[in-house]
Amino acid sequence: MTYMLRLSMLVILLTGFTFGKSFSQLTAPGSTYSELTQYPQATPNDPIFIFCGSDGSLQVNTAMAGEKTFSWEIYNSQSGEFESYQNIVSSGGQSSITQLADGGYRVTVVSASGQEVYRAWVFNHSYMIEGGVKESTCDFFSLEAVVTPPSSTYYDLNSGVPVPLNSGYEVEWREGESIVSRNLNPTVYNPPTTDTEYVLVVSDRFGCQTELPVTYYSIVTKAVFTAEPMTGEAPLEVVFTNQSENGDSDGYEWYFFKDLDEIKQISQGSTAPVDSIKEIAYDHSPIYVYENSGIYMVKLVSKKTSEFYTCTDTTYLETHIVVDTSYIAAPNVFTPNGDGVNDNFVVKFWSMQEVKISIFNRWGRTVHVYENSNVQGFRNTWSVSAWDGTIGGRYASPGVYFYVVEGRGRDGKKRWAKGFFHLYRGKD
């Protein structure tokens, strides 16, 4: 946007001059904003041209013919007068001055046919910004900045009274596309776990914008982990995967709690603090075996050590690890005929510590015994082949047999089961 102002009509040639029919005007190529002065006394008002951080320029175009003298002047605020700046003699209709400092400028165009006079104010808006991270702790960090706006002042050409030009600047701290704060010196809580660049953006009503990047170097950590599986029979092997952010390689503490029911029993009727921790590990990603049935919680503490602080973060599992209670199940049909289907008498165990399975014929004679004093690995109700259907190396006769299962579960409870099953030998 440009403003055109004819300040004097000293010759008859310019009387009746209209902008719509003439090329005479003063412009400011490259300016980003313009408005009129608000002189306290002087009239008429002159255009103000704003350049964002670059050297200003002015250009006058005239429709006068023939050789012309373009007399450029700059305003001296001390004397209140315009002083010679540059003189150009040309037969062309255009004259420019560039790399202008802040101030008021006047150009007088003189030819054999008359004279034209134009005025304007030029301001180069450049902000001085200094800033950085003032304070950084485990809980917050502070951003600090000092903004020095340009001192833009024009003067009433009659009285010499200074008139400050208010830029109305605003500030924003940004992280990427997000606005963190509109305060110049904000405090940021919950610091990120990675080094992060924040940008102070200073913008004003003229459309000028200046940026200052500031890097926050993280001294905090965030504890994150997963556990798999979360349920199963004892002994249950659980793999803990550490996904913590920005922690020290040797700064992890794992707290494995006792069974929830056990903790309740210990604390019942007691006012003393309860030791609920069963074991502490310092591995990066431990594997923990739950030998007994129960409901368990796990806590991870992650540490980050810097020059002045040791920052920690703690997280718990969202749900408990459930190690199922003991369980026994046996089939009621058994077909050891070599067809690969149901050829063994399979008893299913769940969270058992020890087990004894006795097989009897219809007359009560013991035909087979299976024992295991340390049952391991029967996850997802895996099963054990308790009998292959032979007695002394020979096939047992078809018919009804009885079983008795005795054992102790990893929940500490005794388990017992009995029943009968049919042994069929024929093939379909």
What's the rounded mean pLDDT across residues 34-53?
Answer: 94
- Residue 413's pLDDT band (boundaries 50, 70, 90)? confident
pLDDT at 20 over 70: no
Query: 338-364 as b/e, with b when 16 or more CB fall inside 10 Å?
Result: eeeeeebbbbebbbbbebebbbbbeee
pLDDT at 351 over 60: yes
In 3-state terms, what secondary structure has residue 280?
strand
Query: 300-311 as b/e, with b when 16 or more CB fall inside 10 Å?
Result: bbbbbeeeeeeb
Q: Report the chain's mean pLDDT, rounded to a whole number.
A: 88
Can you identify the CATH homologous superfamily of domain 128-216? Immunoglobulins (2.60.40.10)
Q: In the CATH hierarchy, which fold is given to the domain comprising 12-125?
A: Immunoglobulin-like (2.60.40)
Amino acid at the residue 23? F
Looking at the chain, the whole-number percentage of residues with pLDDT higher than 90 is 69
pTM exceeds 0.75 for this model: no
What's the rounded mean pLDDT across residues 118-142?
Answer: 96
Cα separation of 221 and 309, whole Å?
A: 12
- Residue 31's pLDDT band (boundaries 50, 70, 90)? very high
259 contact partners, CB below 8 Å, separation of at least 6:
292, 293, 294, 295, 296
pLDDT at 11 over 50: no
179-203 confidence digits (pLDDT tens) = 999 999 999 999 999 999 999 999 9
In eight-state DSSP terms, residue 337 is S
165 vs 5, 32, 37, 79, CA distance in Å?
Answer: 20, 15, 9, 21
Top-tier CATH class for 225-324: mainly beta
One DSSP character per residue, 94-122 reads EEEEEEEPSEEEEEEEEETTEEEEEEEEE
Query: What is the reported pLDDT for 1?
Result: 32
Q: Do domains 12-125 and 128-216 have the same CATH topology?
A: yes
Residue-range domain boundaries for the chain: 12-125, 128-216, 225-324, 327-423
Cα separation of 7 and 410, whole Å?
A: 102
342 contact partners, CB below 8 Å, separation of at least 6:
331, 333, 334, 335, 336
255-314 confidence digits (pLDDT tens) = 999 998 888 887 777 777 778 999 999 999 999 999 888 899 999 999 999 999 999 999
CATH of domain 327-423: 2.60.40.1220
In 3-state terms, what secondary structure has residue 90?
strand
In 3-state terms, what secondary structure has residue 91?
coil
Specify the length of the chain in residues.
428
The pair of structure tokens assigned to 5 is 């102002």
Amino acid at the residue 277? I
Query: What is the reported pLDDT for 377?
Result: 56
pLDDT at 13 over 70: no
- Residue 23's pLDDT band (boundaries 50, 70, 90)? very low
